[in-house]
Structure 1
Amino acid sequence: MKWPSHGSNPQYLYEAMGMELPDQYLDFSANINPLGPPDALKMKWNDFYNKVTVYPDPYSITLKEQLSKKEQVPTDSLLIGNGGAELITLAARMLEGKKVLLIQPTFSEYEHACRVNRCEIIIHQLEAPDFELNLDGIRQKLRDADALFFCNPNNPTGIHYTKSDMIMLMEECEKHDCLFILDEAFYDFLEDYQSLLPYIKRFPNLIVIRSMTKMFAIPGIRLGYAVGDPATIAKLQNLQSHWSTNAIALAAGELCIEEEAFIRRTQTYIANERNRLFTYYKKQGFMISASKVNFYLLQDPYRKDEFALFEFLLKKGIIPRHTFNFPGLEGNWLRFAIKNSQENEQLMEVLNQWRKHQC
């Protein structure tokens, strides 16, 4: 069976399952902010119309200057992209034919982009349910690697690895002349995040990739940025298509970057909903990953696999993210985004029905 490689677009998932997409459903497979975009974006949306007749700034100067001021990094250390996915693709192009270490399970786009560019893939597998790093094992494999892709907080587990672990990996990569590509697509959902951007001055082998589509709920626009040593950023920019980021995305980013209160409100909301859900899951005997962000893995330990639960949920119009294409998970877990309170309540009601169905 050919499974969709990403969440969202549920029609493809139902098609793969040989099922009809219901008229009403809740999509828990796309892990974006349940509060939706900031109000400022809606208020300014009509103003964006005038931008469709003008070419976008190919250098994204205004947004770069805002990011430079906010993150305290030089503008030549920044590259704006068409979502994090484009920046991952550019990094893979830069690594064409080289050896790349992946820490699995992780975002499937790393492996796809690297294989398209004929990279040799080295795997370090994390073991469920704790998904501990086993740093000694990573050290051994870094000796043969030209680059390491690392997602923190990790997708699909939602687990956040410590700053000290990241520094160790940066040091180890530097020792072996290995590029460290750190994907922080969900960093801003963490309440106690410690920025690693100051380390780009100390570690020229570090690239940090961030997405703006998750926190600000704008996946249809596509916007992200990379931060790194100016020489590396220049290499990535040389591989980028001209005008890859459209004018509306840039204007939206210029608004969103100022939304500090919105980010704090989101963090509090997600933390409260996550605590409520996790309390319910533990009471009902479900296993969950130790997520610190807006999504998590779930497993029913009373079943040999999760396919029956997966099918049950789809029939009820609840759409989780399958894990058949995450090495080490192979469908034995389901990933859920944290949505708004009412939608999370509906999920728990359907899981109550599942428990009764099993009795």
Structure 2
Amino acid sequence: MKFAKNIASRVPVLHGGPYSIENPNPTLVDFSSNVNPLGFPPPVKKLLKTGLQKIPIYPDPNSTNLRKRLSKHVKVPVDNLIIGNGATEIIYNFCQAVITKNTPVLIPIPTFGEYESAVALRGGKIEFFKTMNLNHDVSDFIRQIPKNGCIFICNPNNPTGTVVSKNTMLQILRAAKSRSTMVFVDECFMELTQNPKESVIDHMGMGNLFVLQSLTKSFGLAGLRVGYGVGDRKMISVLHNIKIPWNVSGLSQEAAVLALSEKNFLSRTRNLIKKEHDFLKNSISKINGFSCFDKLSQFYFDQDKNKLKNATKETLEKNILIRDCSTFRGLDESHIRIAIKTRKENAKLILALEESK
């Protein structure tokens, strides 16, 4: 049996999380994946305790109630929303709809690896733009924007945590539109930043914009897999046509609706992240060899690869998992990514890093 070369040779993208290692301890403290440090909203727990009778029922294939609730949350019409089994499903469906063989694609690196993987499956022609802060390099980036192609931008960026300002994003959007190029903006972490209004969702009228967001990060629903995309009606209609039936479970849809109804959950989360970000940055910067990449980042680095490799190994021996960023294109073993968690967990991490050799 023969398979297409780009499919047969595909290597899955490596990610963080407890299942990125063999036989994870149930009590593992996971700093390798960035999810709401408060966990999920309390109403979700009640649903999961009382909703077992709904498991035998097929879910709504169109996630109708969730789309209606999200419409109010992000202030866009229901017809401009698509729900996915996590944000990653939408990335692959978007590429299936937009990318064909040799479609020119521009991706800033380092960034989330699934854009490259999804484009490669479709045979797109990828070029990379190395930058640690797109705000500083936007002029060079704009010059590299292809015609009749697609751009993928993660904002805030994973793994660096850098937020591309709305003004910079609008420069990119206008330049891309003049070249008939689509812009895919992944804002899955945007609601956890200190200024979520940097989102470009309110600029859908430009026509060449698609925005990805997720309840996985913002509302701690990583295990329930709920992401969503915002685009013009034609794009959303196509994505509805190609998605698999019943792609989001009934319990996941209901949990997402309940999570969105929890008032002040995101503001409490942002307050905690700001406080604990400052604590982590100040504490880790005092450890010999470690320094913080960026003020807005959940990402730290060390220039001594061997020291950092030892730190990663030794913290895991203490049941703490941090993200080695060598699997990100453009980075190596001298970089790690650390999520922000609660003070108790963060203090435990600091102690482990201080004791590493």
5+ long unaligned stretches in structure 2: 1-10
Provide the residue aligned with 2:240 in structure 1: 237
Written as runs of structure 1 = structure 2, the 5 A alignment for 1:158-307 is: 158-194=161-197, 195-201=199-205, 203-285=206-288, 286-292=290-296, 296-301=298-303, 306-307=308-309
Q: Which amino acid aligns with 1:298?
A: Y
Q: Residues of 1 paired with 2:242 and 2:202: CA distance?
A: 25
Q: Residues of 2 paired with 1:43 and 1:24: CA distance?
A: 23
Q: What is the DSSP-based 3-state SS (H/G/I as helix, E as strand, rest coil) of the residue aligned with 1:235?
A: helix
**Are residues 76 and 291 of structure 1, via their aligned partners in 2, closer, same or farther at CA, if it must alter by over 3 Å?**
farther
Give, in angstroms, the shift of residue 120 of structure 1. Answer: 1.1
Provide the residue aligned with 2:93 in structure 1: 90
- 1:195-229 superposed Cα distances (whole Å, 9 cap, x missing partner): 3222102x111000001011211111100111111
Give, in angstroms, the shift of residue 255 of structure 1. Answer: 0.7
Q: What is the DSSP-based 3-state SS (H/G/I as helix, E as strand, rest coil) of the residue aligned with 1:242?
A: coil
Provide the residue aligned with 1:48 in structure 2: 51
Provide the residue aligned with 1:118 in structure 2: 123
Q: Residues of 2 paired with 1:36 and 1:249: CA distance?
A: 15
Question: What is the number of residues matched between the two proteins?
Answer: 343
Written as runs of structure 1 = structure 2, the 5 A alignment for 1:96-111 is: 96-97=100-101, 98-111=103-116
Provide the residue aligned with 2:17 in structure 1: 8
5+ long unaligned stretches in structure 1: none
Q: Residues of 2 paired with 1:22 and 1:254: CA distance?
A: 31
Provide the residue aligned with 1:341 in structure 2: 343
Report the TM-score when normalising by structure 1. Answer: 0.89
Aligned partners of 2:80 and 2:232 also within 8 Å: yes
Q: Residues of 2 paired with 1:262 and 1:77: CA distance?
A: 25
**Are residues 255 and 320 of structure 1, via their aligned partners in 2, closer, same or farther at CA, if it must alter by over 3 Å?**
same
- RMSD between superposed Cα atoms in Å: 2.1
**Are residues 37 and 77 of structure 1, via their aligned partners in 2, closer, same or farther at CA, if it must alter by over 3 Å?**
same
Report the TM-score when normalising by structure 2. Answer: 0.90
Provide the residue aligned with 2:314 in structure 1: 312
**Are residues 54 and 24 of structure 1, via their aligned partners in 2, closer, same or farther at CA, if it must alter by over 3 Å?**
closer
Q: What is the DSSP-based 3-state SS (H/G/I as helix, E as strand, rest coil) of the residue aligned with 2:82?
A: strand
Identity %: 30
Q: Which amino acid aligns with 1:292?
A: L
Q: Residues of 2 paired with 1:208 and 1:82: CA distance?
A: 16
Provide the residue aligned with 1:140 in structure 2: 143
Provide the residue aligned with 1:32 in structure 2: 35
Q: Residues of 2 paired with 1:3 and 1:91: CA distance?
A: 18
Give, in angstroms, the shift of residue 306 of structure 1. Answer: 2.8
Q: Residues of 2 paired with 1:6 and 1:145: CA distance?
A: 31
